[in-house]
Amino acid sequence: MSGTTRNATSPIGIFDSGVGGLTVVRAVADALPSERLVYLGDTARVPYGSKSADTVLRYSVLSTRFLLSHDVKMILVACNTASAFAMSELAALLPVPVLGAIEPGARAALAATKTGRIGVLGTLGTVRSAAYPRALARLAAEAGGLPIEITAKACPLLVPLAEEGWLDDPVAEAVARRYLGELHAEAPSLDVLVLGCTHYPLLRQVLTRVAAEIWSHPVTLVDSAGAMAARARLELERLELLHPTATGTLQTFVTDDARIEEIGTRFLGRPLGTVTRVDL
């Protein structure tokens, strides 16, 4: 796609529908402190989670092409909905390794479950795609046919809650109680909950507390961010593309810059620095 040679000093591209993927940036910066990171949040078209597969694919292609124009050596699709709907097309289309959010999240869930009964919280799109149940079934089969039972629950209000910053208050609690209560009715014996959206780790505290109330046994919450970062590290090692020197940086691009300072800082856990707006 680009004539430039990609090598170990090239950046890693990370793409999300909005600012949620900054939770993945945070994990990658921790696991790979020497790497240059280029982040694109498609904030003009956010959210993807309530939109259809072909809209999500179209926007994902535009976004990843933008990252390629920065000569990235690898692309992380932080957005679970984009990973659910567009991974095979992106992997076929892009001339660099592409890692999605679903498989790392599914691996983390399988590592954490004792009973094989797993709940997945996600956007409408991620749940409709059935990408987590498919990935979990495949990984469980590879692990020797571990019996599993997956129950997925779409939680459309968690993204706006996280963006509003109502992370642990009566409203967050009422929302968590409703979604987790409905999930409990279907899956009373699950022991792992996958936070299947980059926004949800911000709500981990209230979700953990409400889950402990609702289920009468311990429930472990897992998310993709740490697992994606670990997987990216392994893959770069294998390809001998780890950056050799300590020059870790972050360049952030967004397609709309309303509220980016405030919300971005909440997701990254530190100030964002310079943010550049681009039209795709």
Catalytic residues: 79, 197
Instruction: Report the residue number, 58 or 117, with the smaller CB distance to its own copies.
Output: 58
Among 6, 8, 34, 55, indicate the residue that binds its own copies (CB under 8 A).
Answer: 55
Among 7, 33, 142, 178, indicate the residue that binds its own copies (CB under 8 A).
Answer: 178
Residue with tokens 């124009």: 69
Binding range to its own copies, per CB under 8 A, among 70-78, 165-173, 195-203, 268-276:
165-173
Binding range to its own copies, per CB under 8 A, among 20-28, 44-52, 62-70, 134-142:
44-52
Among 91, 124, 139, 275, indicate the residue that binds its own copies (CB under 8 A).
Answer: 124
Strand-strand pairing, 220-223 and 117-122: unpaired
In angstroms, what is the minimal distance from the CB of 158 to its own copies? 9
Taking CB under 8 A as the rule, does residue 259 contact its own copies?
yes
Instruction: Report the residue number, 8 or 166, with the smaller CB distance to its own copies.
Output: 166
Amino acid identity, residue 187?
Answer: A
Among 170, 245, 246, 271, indicate the residue that binds its own copies (CB under 8 A).
Answer: 170
Instruction: Report the residue number, 124 or 242, with the smaller CB distance to its own copies.
Output: 124
Among 111, 114, 160, 239, indicate the residue that binds its own copies (CB under 8 A).
Answer: 160
Is residue 14 within 8 Å of 28, Cβ to Cβ?
A: yes
In angstroms, what is the minimal distance from the CB of 211 to its own copies? 17
